[in-house]
A and B are shown apart, each in its own frame.
Chain A
């Protein structure tokens, strides 16, 4: 039996960050990883969010290509809009917009690198700070006394005791289960994300993709939307969905995307070859559930922290690690490891962290994502409507005046399908996001005008003209 101040299960970004911060505070810290090295069990291959550079500049400035050869900045994102027939009907190139406030967020959307390089780099920071790491070791259970967690036991029966155990063991969390915080996820709180890694020569990616190192394939036709992330010498393509939404094998949908004509052309141009098949669970919830119990705190994926819109999970895992260790240090100083003390962890992530701010609009963000990219019925009007509205004018088939009429009429045709979703999804989201300014927007003097104006505007919009037959 070995004794520590703090025991951390999991050597992902959450676990390593927790171990690093704990060791820096002088706490006797150990963390465990079931893989032979951190990162080899993870497949999120990963876009690191720019907030990591804002929150931990001294740490992140050391993440360089010599340590992580797969690094590639995702400066631009291609958005392919794919119609029901599998044709790319429009493509929108996005980059950080004018309203983004800081560097490096102005320069890239994500910094991409493989987890097999990033996770060991993070773990080294923790061991350099004095934390002990045991790899190739599965933690099998929690040791409890009188309903309080007192330590963990590994697969060989060795015991590691500590007044605080941090569950950084990811989506399939033994710590969450054995501490009674969660048995299984609700089906619509967790997604499965299958993914392929493709090899492609670095020079070809440099030349062909250049700074467009991210892509989203927005899919109509009953296929969940897919993402593509480029690294030094390869790329990922993957897609996700909630557990009950898979009607066919998940790879059927992913293969559909890969086999799109446009995608196949990209594969040929890049000289790309499938290199690895991966799948992982990813929590995607409207709001996290309880994250603490007597002697235990959950961080990162184990707690359900990936953001409710796009499931960015690395930053929240690391941010929650910092907060949990702060509270752990206070608990140790006070000698109080009870649920009542550790409740402070939940209060801080809710009220004083970006995780809390994100989940403040969590139910609305989660619901929008569920209703659109992963919802076949809605994407079937969304894709043609957006393509029509954004790109329809660039066309020489008629005088442009006629085209404008045709486009407006066509967009109007989709409105009866679109309005219910837009109203039920976007109105609550904007109401939530703008709640502090709602008073001004809801000024009673303008509301009646707006309400009267809408149907009027709709009636002014042209319908499709019947084709006039021209005589021969």
Chain B
């Protein structure tokens, strides 16, 4: 059994219903790629020379805020999702 074989989504639980809570201002982004590297759920992608957030991020984000924290130019904004929604750690 190899942990790499597991679909991460299948071992995380999310409650739906939040509005947007992460965004990127591409004018401020300096393309350092740190958000791409640090997101364990791989929610940041580079498309046509621009960093974009996965469309289904609300169903996958574990709300660690690492992307926000590593972003030196302050291009990424992060707030927690609406109360009672988002990731749930049943064995946290």
Contact = CB atoms under 8 A, between A and B. Distances in A.
A244 interface: yes
Give the size category of B's interface with A: 35 or more
22 contacts: A35-B83, A40-B88, A41-B86, A41-B88, A41-B89, A41-B92, A45-B91, A115-B89, A116-B89, A155-B83, A172-B65, A172-B68, A174-B79, A187-B70, A197-B91, A234-B91, A251-B40, A259-B4, A274-B6, A277-B12, A279-B66, A281-B69
A275 B8 CA distance: 10
B87 interface: yes
A36 B81 CA distance: 12
Given A184-B69, A187-B70, A196-B3, A277 B92 contact: no
A462 interface: no
A250 interface: yes
Tell me what chain B mostly uses at the interface: helix, strand, loop, or mixed.
loop
Contacts of B1: 264, 267-268
A249 to B, nearest CB: 6
Interface string B36-78: 0111101000000000000000000011111011100000001
A251 B87 CA distance: 18
A39 B66 CA distance: 20
A244 B4 contact: no
The 9 closest A-B pairs by CB, nearest first: A136-B84, A43-B92, A279-B64, A197-B91, A138-B83, A137-B83, A136-B83, A258-B3, A172-B65
Contacts of A246: 37-38
Interface in A167-205: 171-172, 174, 184-185, 187, 190, 192, 194, 196-197
A320 interface: no
A314 to B, nearest CB: 13
Given A276-B11, A277-B12, 12 more contacts: A34-B83, A45-B92, A138-B81, A172-B68, A196-B3, A197-B91, A255-B3, A276-B13, A276-B91, A277-B40, A278-B12, A279-B66
A140 B79 CA distance: 9
Nearest to B9: A277
Contacts, number: 133
Interface residues of A, number: 57
Interface of B: 1-4, 6, 8, 11-13, 15, 34, 37-40, 42, 62-66, 68-70, 78-84, 86-92
Contacts of B42: 249
A42 interface: yes
A276 B84 contact: no
